[in-house]
Chain A
Amino acid sequence: MNRQQGEQPVLISLPPAMATSSQFTRQLGCIRPLMKPQLFIQPQISRRSITSAFTPKPEPVPFPTTIPEQFLSQIPDRFRPHAPKKLKIYPPPPSAHAKCKDPIATVTESQLAVLDPTGERRALFDYRRSARSVKVGDILRVTFKNGDPFSGVCLSIKLRGIDTSFLLRNELTRVGVEMSVKAFSPNVESVEIVKRTEKRKRRARLYYMRKPKHDMRSVENIVSNYLRQKSALTGQRSANRKKR
Protein backbone atom coordinates (compact mmCIF):
# COMPACT_ATOMS: atom_id res chain seq x y z
CA MET A 1 0.00 0.00 0.00
CA ASN A 2 2.80 2.39 0.79
CA ARG A 3 4.33 1.87 -2.61
CA GLN A 4 1.03 2.77 -4.25
CA GLN A 5 0.89 6.07 -2.40
CA GLY A 6 4.23 7.12 -3.74
CA GLU A 7 3.24 6.43 -7.30
CA GLN A 8 0.02 8.35 -7.14
CA PRO A 9 1.02 11.55 -8.95
CA VAL A 10 1.91 9.52 -12.01
CA LEU A 11 -1.06 7.22 -12.02
CA ILE A 12 -4.06 8.88 -13.58
CA SER A 13 -6.73 6.48 -12.49
CA LEU A 14 -6.92 3.49 -10.27
CA PRO A 15 -9.28 0.54 -10.41
CA PRO A 16 -12.51 1.42 -8.58
CA ALA A 17 -12.51 -1.94 -6.79
CA MET A 18 -9.76 -0.72 -4.43
CA ALA A 19 -11.89 1.51 -2.24
CA THR A 20 -9.14 2.51 0.23
CA SER A 21 -6.73 3.71 -2.41
CA SER A 22 -9.38 5.71 -4.28
CA GLN A 23 -9.84 7.77 -1.14
CA PHE A 24 -6.19 8.74 -1.23
CA THR A 25 -6.36 9.81 -4.84
CA ARG A 26 -9.26 12.05 -4.09
CA GLN A 27 -7.29 13.72 -1.36
CA LEU A 28 -4.27 14.26 -3.55
CA GLY A 29 -6.28 15.19 -6.63
CA CYS A 30 -5.62 18.88 -6.06
CA ILE A 31 -1.89 18.37 -6.53
CA ARG A 32 -2.25 16.90 -9.99
CA PRO A 33 -2.83 20.13 -11.95
CA LEU A 34 0.19 21.65 -10.17
CA MET A 35 2.39 18.71 -11.14
CA LYS A 36 1.39 18.57 -14.82
CA PRO A 37 2.88 21.83 -16.15
CA GLN A 38 6.13 21.07 -14.43
CA LEU A 39 6.35 17.72 -16.19
CA PHE A 40 5.52 19.41 -19.46
CA ILE A 41 8.16 22.15 -19.22
CA GLN A 42 11.03 19.98 -18.15
CA PRO A 43 11.49 17.97 -21.43
CA GLN A 44 11.27 21.23 -23.40
CA ILE A 45 14.24 22.61 -21.60
CA SER A 46 16.23 19.51 -22.07
CA ARG A 47 15.43 19.39 -25.79
CA ARG A 48 16.50 22.94 -26.29
CA SER A 49 19.77 22.21 -24.61
CA ILE A 50 20.45 19.43 -27.11
CA THR A 51 19.85 21.60 -30.14
CA SER A 52 21.75 24.61 -28.99
CA ALA A 53 24.70 23.02 -27.26
CA PHE A 54 27.82 22.65 -29.41
CA THR A 55 29.69 19.44 -29.00
CA PRO A 56 32.94 19.22 -30.91
CA LYS A 57 33.58 16.15 -33.01
CA PRO A 58 35.63 13.67 -31.08
CA GLU A 59 39.21 13.42 -32.24
CA PRO A 60 39.94 10.08 -33.87
CA VAL A 61 41.81 8.07 -31.38
CA PRO A 62 44.76 6.29 -32.94
CA PHE A 63 44.46 2.53 -32.77
CA PRO A 64 46.69 1.26 -30.02
CA THR A 65 49.71 -0.40 -31.54
CA THR A 66 50.32 -2.78 -28.75
CA ILE A 67 47.36 -4.86 -27.73
CA PRO A 68 47.67 -7.74 -25.36
CA GLU A 69 47.38 -11.15 -26.98
CA GLN A 70 44.13 -12.09 -25.30
CA PHE A 71 42.18 -9.15 -26.82
CA LEU A 72 43.23 -9.80 -30.40
CA SER A 73 40.28 -12.06 -31.09
CA GLN A 74 37.88 -9.20 -30.29
CA ILE A 75 39.06 -6.84 -33.02
CA PRO A 76 38.54 -7.18 -36.76
CA ASP A 77 41.08 -9.09 -38.84
CA ARG A 78 42.42 -6.07 -40.63
CA PHE A 79 43.43 -4.33 -37.36
CA ARG A 80 45.35 -7.27 -36.05
CA PRO A 81 49.09 -6.94 -36.24
CA HIS A 82 49.45 -10.17 -38.21
CA ALA A 83 46.62 -10.10 -40.76
CA PRO A 84 46.20 -13.28 -42.85
CA LYS A 85 48.49 -13.36 -45.84
CA LYS A 86 47.07 -12.38 -49.21
CA LEU A 87 46.50 -15.33 -51.53
CA LYS A 88 48.95 -15.56 -54.35
CA ILE A 89 46.92 -15.50 -57.56
CA TYR A 90 48.64 -17.11 -60.48
CA PRO A 91 48.38 -15.57 -63.94
CA PRO A 92 46.60 -17.61 -66.61
CA PRO A 93 48.61 -19.36 -69.32
CA PRO A 94 48.45 -18.01 -72.90
CA SER A 95 44.96 -18.40 -74.29
CA ALA A 96 44.15 -20.36 -77.42
CA HIS A 97 40.81 -18.62 -77.63
CA ALA A 98 42.45 -15.19 -77.85
CA LYS A 99 44.72 -16.47 -80.59
CA CYS A 100 41.99 -18.04 -82.63
CA LYS A 101 38.71 -16.15 -82.22
CA ASP A 102 36.92 -17.83 -85.09
CA PRO A 103 37.98 -21.47 -85.33
CA ILE A 104 35.44 -22.27 -88.05
CA ALA A 105 37.07 -19.69 -90.31
CA THR A 106 40.48 -21.12 -89.45
CA VAL A 107 39.39 -24.61 -90.38
CA THR A 108 37.81 -23.33 -93.58
CA GLU A 109 40.94 -21.43 -94.56
CA SER A 110 43.17 -24.43 -93.95
CA GLN A 111 40.85 -26.55 -96.11
CA LEU A 112 40.70 -23.99 -98.90
CA ALA A 113 44.48 -23.75 -98.94
CA VAL A 114 44.51 -27.39 -100.02
CA LEU A 115 41.39 -27.56 -102.18
CA ASP A 116 41.56 -24.17 -103.86
CA PRO A 117 45.16 -22.91 -103.62
CA THR A 118 44.79 -20.25 -106.32
CA GLY A 119 41.55 -18.82 -104.99
CA GLU A 120 40.07 -19.11 -108.46
CA ARG A 121 37.10 -21.21 -107.46
CA ARG A 122 36.38 -18.93 -104.57
CA ALA A 123 36.26 -15.91 -106.85
CA LEU A 124 34.05 -17.79 -109.29
CA PHE A 125 31.24 -18.20 -106.79
CA ASP A 126 31.61 -15.28 -104.42
CA TYR A 127 28.95 -13.23 -106.16
CA ARG A 128 28.87 -10.68 -103.38
CA ARG A 129 32.48 -9.59 -103.95
CA SER A 130 33.68 -10.49 -107.39
CA ALA A 131 31.85 -9.03 -110.38
CA ARG A 132 32.95 -11.75 -112.77
CA SER A 133 31.52 -14.53 -110.67
CA VAL A 134 28.77 -16.93 -111.57
CA LYS A 135 25.29 -15.43 -111.23
CA VAL A 136 22.04 -17.27 -110.90
CA GLY A 137 20.53 -17.92 -114.32
CA ASP A 138 23.92 -18.61 -115.91
CA ILE A 139 24.40 -21.90 -117.73
CA LEU A 140 27.28 -23.85 -116.20
CA ARG A 141 29.15 -26.98 -117.15
CA VAL A 142 30.81 -28.99 -114.41
CA THR A 143 33.34 -31.70 -115.11
CA PHE A 144 33.95 -34.27 -112.42
CA LYS A 145 37.10 -36.21 -111.66
CA ASN A 146 35.56 -39.44 -112.90
CA GLY A 147 34.90 -37.87 -116.29
CA ASP A 148 31.14 -37.32 -116.33
CA PRO A 149 30.17 -33.78 -117.14
CA PHE A 150 26.97 -32.18 -115.95
CA SER A 151 25.59 -28.97 -117.30
CA GLY A 152 22.57 -26.94 -116.41
CA VAL A 153 21.18 -23.59 -115.51
CA CYS A 154 22.26 -22.31 -112.10
CA LEU A 155 19.22 -21.92 -109.86
CA SER A 156 20.97 -20.86 -106.66
CA ILE A 157 24.36 -20.30 -105.09
CA LYS A 158 24.77 -20.98 -101.39
CA LEU A 159 27.81 -19.27 -99.86
CA ARG A 160 28.67 -21.35 -96.78
CA GLY A 161 32.46 -21.26 -96.55
CA ILE A 162 33.83 -24.70 -97.31
CA ASP A 163 30.32 -25.98 -98.01
CA THR A 164 29.62 -23.44 -100.73
CA SER A 165 27.41 -25.09 -103.32
CA PHE A 166 25.43 -24.29 -106.44
CA LEU A 167 22.30 -25.90 -107.82
CA LEU A 168 22.12 -26.85 -111.50
CA ARG A 169 19.01 -27.86 -113.39
CA ASN A 170 18.82 -29.54 -116.73
CA GLU A 171 16.57 -31.86 -118.68
CA LEU A 172 17.99 -35.23 -119.75
CA THR A 173 15.88 -37.58 -121.87
CA ARG A 174 12.89 -35.38 -121.14
CA VAL A 175 13.26 -35.80 -117.39
CA GLY A 176 14.22 -32.84 -115.26
CA VAL A 177 17.39 -33.44 -113.26
CA GLU A 178 18.77 -31.21 -110.54
CA MET A 179 22.19 -31.47 -109.01
CA SER A 180 23.58 -29.50 -106.12
CA VAL A 181 27.37 -29.48 -106.31
CA LYS A 182 29.81 -28.48 -103.60
CA ALA A 183 32.02 -25.86 -105.19
CA PHE A 184 35.19 -26.92 -103.38
CA SER A 185 34.69 -30.65 -103.63
CA PRO A 186 37.88 -32.35 -104.84
CA ASN A 187 35.68 -34.35 -107.21
CA VAL A 188 34.90 -31.23 -109.21
CA GLU A 189 37.60 -30.81 -111.80
CA SER A 190 36.38 -27.69 -113.55
CA VAL A 191 33.44 -25.32 -113.67
CA GLU A 192 32.87 -23.38 -116.89
CA ILE A 193 30.40 -20.65 -117.62
CA VAL A 194 28.75 -21.68 -120.88
CA LYS A 195 26.42 -18.74 -121.21
CA ARG A 196 25.69 -15.84 -118.98
CA THR A 197 22.15 -14.77 -118.29
CA GLU A 198 20.96 -12.00 -120.58
CA LYS A 199 19.23 -10.01 -117.90
CA ARG A 200 20.16 -9.86 -114.25
CA LYS A 201 17.75 -12.06 -112.36
CA ARG A 202 15.81 -10.27 -109.69
CA ARG A 203 15.78 -13.24 -107.35
CA ALA A 204 18.57 -14.95 -105.50
CA ARG A 205 16.99 -18.38 -105.91
CA LEU A 206 15.29 -19.21 -109.18
CA TYR A 207 13.11 -21.99 -107.85
CA TYR A 208 10.25 -20.75 -110.00
CA MET A 209 12.12 -22.26 -112.94
CA ARG A 210 10.93 -25.67 -111.81
CA LYS A 211 7.42 -24.74 -112.81
CA PRO A 212 6.47 -25.81 -116.33
CA LYS A 213 5.66 -22.24 -117.27
CA HIS A 214 9.16 -20.97 -116.55
CA ASP A 215 11.13 -24.16 -117.13
CA MET A 216 14.09 -23.67 -119.45
CA ARG A 217 13.93 -27.32 -120.57
CA SER A 218 17.11 -28.82 -121.92
CA VAL A 219 20.28 -26.73 -122.16
CA GLU A 220 22.16 -29.47 -124.01
CA ASN A 221 21.98 -27.59 -127.34
CA ILE A 222 23.53 -24.46 -125.90
CA VAL A 223 26.25 -26.47 -124.23
CA SER A 224 27.09 -28.46 -127.35
CA ASN A 225 27.26 -25.22 -129.34
CA TYR A 226 29.63 -23.79 -126.80
CA LEU A 227 31.80 -26.89 -126.88
CA ARG A 228 31.98 -26.79 -130.65
CA GLN A 229 33.06 -23.17 -130.60
CA LYS A 230 35.58 -23.91 -127.92
CA SER A 231 37.08 -26.83 -129.77
CA ALA A 232 37.37 -24.67 -132.87
CA LEU A 233 39.29 -22.12 -130.86
CA THR A 234 41.55 -24.35 -128.82
CA GLY A 235 41.76 -27.45 -130.97
CA GLN A 236 42.58 -30.94 -129.86
CA ARG A 237 42.15 -30.80 -126.11
CA SER A 238 38.54 -29.74 -126.03
CA ALA A 239 37.66 -32.09 -128.89
CA ASN A 240 38.71 -34.92 -126.67
CA ARG A 241 36.55 -33.68 -123.90
CA LYS A 242 33.58 -33.39 -126.18
CA LYS A 243 33.82 -37.05 -127.04
CA ARG A 244 33.26 -37.98 -123.44
Chain B
Amino acid sequence: MPPRLSGSLIQLPFSLGAVNPQYILPATNSIRTFGIRSLNPPKPSRFNVSPNLPVLKSTPTAALERKAATLPLRTGVIAIKKGMSAIFDPETGKRIPCTVLQLDRVQVVAHKTRDVHGYYAVQVGSGWKHPKNVTKALLGHYSGQGVSPKRHVYEFRVKDESGLVPVGKLLNANWFQEGQYVDARSNSKGKGFAGVMKRHGFGGQDRSHGVSLTHRSLGSAGPSQGGGSRVYPGKKMAGNMGNEQNTVQNLKVLKVDVENGLVLVNGSVSGPRGCVIRIQDAIKKPWPTFAETTEATETST
Protein backbone atom coordinates (compact mmCIF):
# COMPACT_ATOMS: atom_id res chain seq x y z
CA MET B 1 0.00 0.00 0.00
CA PRO B 2 2.50 2.70 0.93
CA PRO B 3 4.54 2.52 -2.30
CA ARG B 4 1.42 2.95 -4.47
CA LEU B 5 0.32 5.96 -2.50
CA SER B 6 3.66 7.65 -2.78
CA GLY B 7 3.76 6.88 -6.49
CA SER B 8 0.45 8.68 -7.12
CA LEU B 9 1.63 11.62 -5.05
CA ILE B 10 4.74 11.91 -7.15
CA GLN B 11 2.75 11.74 -10.36
CA LEU B 12 0.33 14.52 -9.40
CA PRO B 13 2.78 17.44 -9.15
CA PHE B 14 4.55 16.16 -12.19
CA SER B 15 1.43 16.34 -14.36
CA LEU B 16 0.47 19.70 -12.84
CA GLY B 17 3.81 21.07 -13.68
CA ALA B 18 3.61 19.93 -17.31
CA VAL B 19 0.20 21.39 -18.33
CA ASN B 20 -2.61 23.11 -16.50
CA PRO B 21 -5.26 20.38 -16.05
CA GLN B 22 -8.10 22.87 -15.60
CA TYR B 23 -7.47 24.19 -19.02
CA ILE B 24 -7.05 20.92 -20.78
CA LEU B 25 -9.89 18.88 -19.20
CA PRO B 26 -12.89 20.22 -21.19
CA ALA B 27 -11.02 19.80 -24.44
CA THR B 28 -10.20 16.17 -23.68
CA ASN B 29 -13.85 15.50 -22.77
CA SER B 30 -15.26 16.63 -26.11
CA ILE B 31 -12.81 14.83 -28.36
CA ARG B 32 -11.36 11.79 -26.86
CA THR B 33 -8.12 11.02 -28.55
CA PHE B 34 -7.27 8.03 -26.43
CA GLY B 35 -8.89 4.85 -25.06
CA ILE B 36 -11.85 2.94 -26.46
CA ARG B 37 -14.13 5.03 -28.64
CA SER B 38 -17.82 4.36 -29.22
CA LEU B 39 -18.72 3.17 -32.67
CA ASN B 40 -22.23 4.71 -32.51
CA PRO B 41 -22.50 8.48 -32.66
CA PRO B 42 -24.43 10.07 -29.74
CA LYS B 43 -28.20 9.94 -30.34
CA PRO B 44 -30.48 12.92 -29.73
CA SER B 45 -32.61 12.66 -26.58
CA ARG B 46 -35.67 10.53 -27.12
CA PHE B 47 -37.59 12.78 -24.70
CA ASN B 48 -39.52 15.86 -25.78
CA VAL B 49 -36.78 18.39 -26.35
CA SER B 50 -37.32 21.22 -28.77
CA PRO B 51 -37.05 24.99 -28.72
CA ASN B 52 -40.81 25.58 -29.30
CA LEU B 53 -42.10 23.84 -26.20
CA PRO B 54 -44.64 25.67 -24.00
CA VAL B 55 -43.61 27.11 -20.64
CA LEU B 56 -43.79 24.60 -17.82
CA LYS B 57 -46.73 24.99 -15.45
CA SER B 58 -44.73 24.63 -12.28
CA THR B 59 -42.58 27.71 -12.66
CA PRO B 60 -43.00 30.98 -10.76
CA THR B 61 -43.76 32.75 -14.04
CA ALA B 62 -46.56 30.35 -14.83
CA ALA B 63 -47.89 30.61 -11.29
CA LEU B 64 -48.11 34.41 -11.54
CA GLU B 65 -49.80 34.13 -14.92
CA ARG B 66 -52.37 31.75 -13.51
CA LYS B 67 -53.10 34.03 -10.59
CA ALA B 68 -53.27 37.18 -12.68
CA ALA B 69 -57.03 36.97 -13.15
CA THR B 70 -57.80 36.63 -9.45
CA LEU B 71 -55.25 39.00 -7.97
CA PRO B 72 -56.69 42.41 -7.16
CA LEU B 73 -55.26 45.44 -8.90
CA ARG B 74 -55.25 47.53 -5.76
CA THR B 75 -54.07 46.86 -2.23
CA GLY B 76 -56.50 46.35 0.62
CA VAL B 77 -56.60 48.01 4.02
CA ILE B 78 -56.62 46.92 7.65
CA ALA B 79 -59.71 47.89 9.60
CA ILE B 80 -61.05 47.29 13.09
CA LYS B 81 -64.53 45.89 13.54
CA LYS B 82 -66.49 48.32 15.69
CA GLY B 83 -69.85 46.59 15.76
CA MET B 84 -73.06 46.39 13.84
CA SER B 85 -75.76 48.88 13.11
CA ALA B 86 -78.36 49.50 10.42
CA ILE B 87 -79.02 52.00 7.69
CA PHE B 88 -82.49 53.07 6.66
CA ASP B 89 -82.98 54.07 3.07
CA PRO B 90 -85.26 57.14 3.23
CA GLU B 91 -86.66 56.54 -0.28
CA THR B 92 -87.52 52.85 -0.21
CA GLY B 93 -87.86 52.55 3.54
CA LYS B 94 -85.59 49.51 3.57
CA ARG B 95 -83.48 48.68 6.58
CA ILE B 96 -80.02 47.41 5.67
CA PRO B 97 -77.97 45.82 8.43
CA CYS B 98 -74.34 46.89 8.28
CA THR B 99 -71.00 46.38 10.00
CA VAL B 100 -69.02 49.44 11.02
CA LEU B 101 -65.29 49.22 10.29
CA GLN B 102 -62.77 51.83 11.26
CA LEU B 103 -59.47 52.55 9.54
CA ASP B 104 -56.89 53.82 11.99
CA ARG B 105 -53.67 55.31 10.58
CA VAL B 106 -53.42 52.79 7.78
CA GLN B 107 -50.13 53.28 5.98
CA VAL B 108 -48.13 51.48 3.37
CA VAL B 109 -45.07 50.06 5.11
CA ALA B 110 -43.18 48.20 2.41
CA HIS B 111 -43.38 46.55 -0.97
CA LYS B 112 -42.78 43.02 -2.14
CA THR B 113 -41.59 42.88 -5.72
CA ARG B 114 -41.23 40.22 -8.32
CA ASP B 115 -37.49 40.73 -8.69
CA VAL B 116 -36.68 40.45 -5.00
CA HIS B 117 -39.44 38.37 -3.45
CA GLY B 118 -41.01 36.60 -6.39
CA TYR B 119 -44.42 38.29 -6.21
CA TYR B 120 -46.01 41.70 -5.94
CA ALA B 121 -47.54 42.69 -2.64
CA VAL B 122 -48.04 45.74 -0.48
CA GLN B 123 -47.24 45.56 3.21
CA VAL B 124 -49.76 47.67 5.06
CA GLY B 125 -49.70 48.64 8.73
CA SER B 126 -52.31 50.20 10.95
CA GLY B 127 -52.58 51.65 14.44
CA TRP B 128 -49.57 52.66 16.46
CA LYS B 129 -47.28 50.75 18.79
CA HIS B 130 -45.07 52.38 21.37
CA PRO B 131 -41.47 52.17 20.11
CA LYS B 132 -40.31 50.69 23.39
CA ASN B 133 -42.53 47.68 22.77
CA VAL B 134 -41.16 47.08 19.30
CA THR B 135 -38.08 44.96 18.74
CA LYS B 136 -34.98 46.65 17.42
CA ALA B 137 -35.18 44.74 14.17
CA LEU B 138 -38.75 45.79 13.47
CA LEU B 139 -38.03 49.34 14.56
CA GLY B 140 -35.25 49.42 12.01
CA HIS B 141 -37.71 48.21 9.38
CA TYR B 142 -40.18 50.96 10.20
CA SER B 143 -37.68 53.78 10.47
CA GLY B 144 -35.92 52.61 7.33
CA GLN B 145 -39.21 53.01 5.47
CA GLY B 146 -40.00 56.27 7.22
CA VAL B 147 -43.20 55.20 8.95
CA SER B 148 -44.17 55.06 12.59
CA PRO B 149 -44.21 51.67 14.35
CA LYS B 150 -47.46 49.88 13.55
CA ARG B 151 -49.72 47.75 15.70
CA HIS B 152 -50.95 45.49 12.91
CA VAL B 153 -49.05 44.64 9.75
CA TYR B 154 -50.43 42.60 6.87
CA GLU B 155 -49.56 41.99 3.25
CA PHE B 156 -51.97 42.42 0.38
CA ARG B 157 -51.07 40.81 -2.91
CA VAL B 158 -51.54 42.86 -6.04
CA LYS B 159 -51.36 41.88 -9.66
CA ASP B 160 -48.41 43.98 -10.84
CA GLU B 161 -46.21 46.91 -9.96
CA SER B 162 -48.93 49.41 -10.87
CA GLY B 163 -50.67 48.35 -7.66
CA LEU B 164 -47.67 49.19 -5.49
CA VAL B 165 -48.78 52.29 -3.63
CA PRO B 166 -45.80 54.45 -2.55
CA VAL B 167 -44.43 53.63 0.89
CA GLY B 168 -45.69 55.91 3.64
CA LYS B 169 -48.95 56.75 1.89
CA LEU B 170 -51.94 57.05 4.20
CA LEU B 171 -54.84 54.89 3.07
CA ASN B 172 -58.02 56.65 4.09
CA ALA B 173 -61.57 55.41 4.04
CA ASN B 174 -62.00 56.89 0.58
CA TRP B 175 -59.76 54.12 -0.68
CA PHE B 176 -63.14 52.48 -1.21
CA GLN B 177 -66.11 54.08 -2.89
CA GLU B 178 -69.73 53.70 -1.94
CA GLY B 179 -71.46 50.98 -3.89
CA GLN B 180 -68.38 48.90 -4.66
CA TYR B 181 -67.93 45.35 -3.40
CA VAL B 182 -65.23 44.12 -1.05
CA ASP B 183 -64.05 40.88 0.52
CA ALA B 184 -63.59 40.96 4.29
CA ARG B 185 -61.06 38.59 5.80
CA SER B 186 -60.81 38.02 9.52
CA ASN B 187 -60.57 35.45 12.27
CA SER B 188 -63.85 34.10 13.50
CA LYS B 189 -64.89 34.10 17.13
CA GLY B 190 -63.07 31.44 19.10
CA LYS B 191 -65.29 28.80 20.66
CA GLY B 192 -62.62 26.96 22.59
CA PHE B 193 -62.39 23.18 22.72
CA ALA B 194 -65.68 22.02 21.29
CA GLY B 195 -67.18 18.58 21.01
CA VAL B 196 -68.14 16.95 17.71
CA MET B 197 -71.82 17.85 18.02
CA LYS B 198 -71.09 21.56 18.20
CA ARG B 199 -68.04 21.57 15.97
CA HIS B 200 -69.14 19.31 13.12
CA GLY B 201 -72.85 18.93 13.73
CA PHE B 202 -72.71 15.24 14.57
CA GLY B 203 -75.88 13.66 15.83
CA GLY B 204 -74.54 12.42 19.12
CA GLN B 205 -75.88 9.25 20.66
CA ASP B 206 -79.06 8.13 22.32
CA ARG B 207 -80.23 9.53 25.62
CA SER B 208 -81.01 5.99 26.76
CA HIS B 209 -81.17 2.48 25.25
CA GLY B 210 -78.13 1.42 27.21
CA VAL B 211 -75.94 4.39 26.28
CA SER B 212 -73.98 5.50 29.27
CA LEU B 213 -71.72 8.53 29.61
CA THR B 214 -71.30 9.00 25.85
CA HIS B 215 -74.37 10.97 24.84
CA ARG B 216 -72.54 13.77 23.03
CA SER B 217 -69.47 11.93 21.78
CA LEU B 218 -68.76 10.66 18.29
CA GLY B 219 -69.52 7.03 17.62
CA SER B 220 -66.83 5.11 15.81
CA ALA B 221 -63.66 6.69 14.50
CA GLY B 222 -63.52 4.29 11.56
CA PRO B 223 -63.69 0.69 10.42
CA SER B 224 -61.28 -1.93 11.72
CA GLN B 225 -59.82 -3.92 8.87
CA GLY B 226 -61.11 -1.95 5.90
CA GLY B 227 -59.53 1.21 7.23
CA GLY B 228 -56.23 -0.52 7.73
CA SER B 229 -56.83 -0.56 11.47
CA ARG B 230 -56.08 3.11 11.68
CA VAL B 231 -57.91 6.42 11.80
CA TYR B 232 -57.80 8.28 8.52
CA PRO B 233 -56.18 11.71 8.53
CA GLY B 234 -58.74 14.50 8.63
CA LYS B 235 -61.21 12.52 10.72
CA LYS B 236 -63.66 14.95 12.27
CA MET B 237 -63.11 14.95 15.98
CA ALA B 238 -63.47 17.24 18.96
CA GLY B 239 -61.02 20.12 19.11
CA ASN B 240 -60.60 23.84 18.98
CA MET B 241 -63.42 25.55 17.18
CA GLY B 242 -63.44 29.02 15.71
CA ASN B 243 -60.65 31.58 15.75
CA GLU B 244 -59.71 30.60 12.23
CA GLN B 245 -59.57 32.82 9.20
CA ASN B 246 -62.76 33.35 7.33
CA THR B 247 -63.45 35.42 4.24
CA VAL B 248 -66.84 36.96 3.60
CA GLN B 249 -67.06 37.75 -0.09
CA ASN B 250 -68.91 40.43 -2.02
CA LEU B 251 -69.90 42.82 0.74
CA LYS B 252 -71.29 46.05 -0.56
CA VAL B 253 -69.76 49.25 0.75
CA LEU B 254 -72.73 51.24 1.96
CA LYS B 255 -71.08 54.33 3.31
CA VAL B 256 -67.64 55.89 3.60
CA ASP B 257 -66.73 58.50 6.19
CA VAL B 258 -63.23 59.84 5.55
CA GLU B 259 -63.08 62.14 8.57
CA ASN B 260 -63.72 59.37 11.08
CA GLY B 261 -62.13 56.68 8.96
CA LEU B 262 -65.35 54.67 8.80
CA VAL B 263 -66.35 52.12 6.18
CA LEU B 264 -69.83 50.61 6.46
CA VAL B 265 -70.27 47.28 4.72
CA ASN B 266 -73.48 45.41 4.17
CA GLY B 267 -74.17 42.48 6.44
CA SER B 268 -71.96 40.76 8.93
CA VAL B 269 -68.24 40.09 9.14
CA SER B 270 -66.57 37.28 11.10
CA GLY B 271 -64.98 37.95 14.43
CA PRO B 272 -65.71 39.75 17.68
CA ARG B 273 -65.87 43.49 18.12
CA GLY B 274 -62.41 45.03 17.99
CA CYS B 275 -60.90 42.35 15.81
CA VAL B 276 -58.73 43.06 12.80
CA ILE B 277 -60.48 42.88 9.43
CA ARG B 278 -58.66 42.98 6.10
CA ILE B 279 -60.78 44.40 3.32
CA GLN B 280 -59.85 44.35 -0.33
CA ASP B 281 -61.67 44.73 -3.63
CA ALA B 282 -63.95 41.75 -4.24
CA ILE B 283 -62.32 39.28 -6.60
CA LYS B 284 -65.63 37.97 -7.88
CA LYS B 285 -66.89 41.36 -9.04
CA PRO B 286 -65.51 43.65 -11.73
CA TRP B 287 -62.64 45.75 -10.42
CA PRO B 288 -63.82 49.18 -9.31
CA THR B 289 -62.84 52.03 -11.59
CA PHE B 290 -61.08 54.68 -9.64
CA ALA B 291 -60.20 58.02 -11.14
CA GLU B 292 -59.00 59.44 -7.87
CA THR B 293 -56.48 56.74 -6.94
CA THR B 294 -53.82 58.09 -9.25
CA GLU B 295 -54.51 61.66 -8.12
CA ALA B 296 -54.32 60.67 -4.49
CA THR B 297 -50.97 58.99 -4.92
CA GLU B 298 -49.58 62.01 -6.71
CA THR B 299 -50.64 64.38 -3.96
CA SER B 300 -49.19 62.22 -1.23
CA THR B 301 -45.82 61.95 -2.91
Contact present for A89 and B143 (CB under 8 Å): yes
Answer yes or no: B281 CB below 8 A from chain A CBs.
Answer: no
| From A93, A96, A182, A184, residue with most partner B Cβ within 10 Å | A96
**Which residues of B lie under 8 Å from residue A145 when comparing CB positions?**
93
Q: Please state if A185 and B128 are interface contacts (CB–CB under 8 Å).
A: no
Q: Are B93 and A106 in contact (CB under 8 A)?
A: no
- Interface pair A96/B261, CB less than 8 Å apart: yes
Asked whether B183 is an interface residue with its Cβ less than 8 Å from the other chain, the reply is no
Whether, in the assembled complex, B103 has its beta carbon less than 8 Å from a beta carbon of chain A, the answer is yes
Contact A104 B85 (CB under 8 A): yes
Query: Would you give the 0/1 interface string for A33-72, flagging 1 where the beta carbon is closer than 8 Å to chain B?
Result: 0000000000000000000000000000000000000000
A111 to B90, CA, bound (A): 10
Nearest B residue to A145 via CB reads B93
Residues of chain A within 8 A (CB-CB) of B139 are: 87, 89
How many residues of chain B get a CB closer than 8 Å to chain A's CBs? 40
* Residues of B94-110 whose CB lies within 8 A of A: 95, 98, 100, 102-105, 107
Cβ contacts under 8 Å, A99 to chain B: 259-261
Q: How far is the CA of A244 from the CA of B101 in the complex (A)?
A: 44
**Residue among A91, A103, A182 facing the most chain B CB atoms (10 A cut-off):** A103
Inter-subunit contact B140/A87 (CB<8 Å):
yes
B147 to chain A, nearest CB (A): 6
Q: Which chain B residues border A73 with CB–CB below 8 Å?
A: none
B105→A95 contact, CB < 8 A? yes
Residues of B with C-beta under 8 A to A186: 88-91, 93
Q: B230 → chain A, closest Cβ, in Å? A: 52
- Asked if A78 lies at the interface with its beta carbon under 8 angstroms from chain B, I say no
List B contacts of A91 (CB < 8 A).
148
Q: Which residues of B contact A104 (CB under 8 A)?
A: 82-83, 85, 100
Return B30 CB to nearest CB of chain A, in Å. 52
Bound-state Cα–Cα, A204 to B37, Å: 106
Cα separation A226 to B41 with both chains bound (whole Å): 114
Q: Is there an interface contact between B83 and A96, defined as CB atoms closer than 8 Å?
A: no
Would A96 and B104 count as touching, CB distance under 8 A? Answer: yes
Q: Quick check: B143 and A87 within 8 Å, CB to CB?
A: yes
Is B257 part of the binding interface, using a Cβ–Cβ cutoff of 8 Å?
yes
Closest to B168 in A: A90
Question: CB of B87 within 8 A of chain A?
Answer: yes
Question: Cα distance A96–B171 when bound, in Å?
Answer: 12
Is the Cβ of A163 less than 8 Å from the Cβ of B102? no
Q: Does A4 contact B (CB under 8 A)?
A: no
Contact: B128 with A95, CB < 8 Å? yes
Residues of B within 8 A of A114 (CB): 90
Instruction: State whether B262 touches A93 (Cβ < 8 A).
Output: no
**Cβ of B131 under 8 Å from chain A:** yes
Task: Among A89, A96, A185, point to the contact of B103 (Cβ < 8 A).
Answer: A96
A100 touches B261 (CB 8 A): yes
CB distance from B216 to the nearest CB of A (A): 33
CB neighbours of A182 from chain B (8 A): 88, 95
Cβ contacts under 8 Å, B271 to chain A: none
In whole angstroms, what is the CA distance A186 to B127 when docked?
A: 37
Mark contacts of B204-241 with chain A using CB atoms, 8 A cut-off: 1 yes-contact digit, 0 otherwise: 00000000000000000000000000000000000000
* Nearest-CB residue, chain A, relative to B172: A96
> With A89-B131, A185-B95 in contact, is A106–B260 under 8 Å at CB?
yes
Contact A92 B105 (CB under 8 A): yes
Give the CA-CA distance A44 to B140 in the complex, in Å.
60
Q: Which of A89, A110, A187: most chain B Cβ within 10 A?
A: A89
Residues of B within 8 A of A (CB): 80, 82-83, 85-91, 93, 95, 98, 100, 102-105, 107, 127-128, 131, 136, 139-140, 142-143, 146-149, 170, 173, 255, 257, 259-262, 264
Of the A-B pairs whose beta carbons lie under 8 Å apart in the complex, a sample of 20, sorted by A's number, is: A88-B143, A89-B139, A89-B142, A90-B143, A90-B146, A92-B128, A92-B149, A93-B107, A96-B103, A100-B102, A103-B100, A106-B257, A106-B262, A107-B85, A107-B98, A108-B85, A110-B257, A114-B90, A163-B85, A186-B89
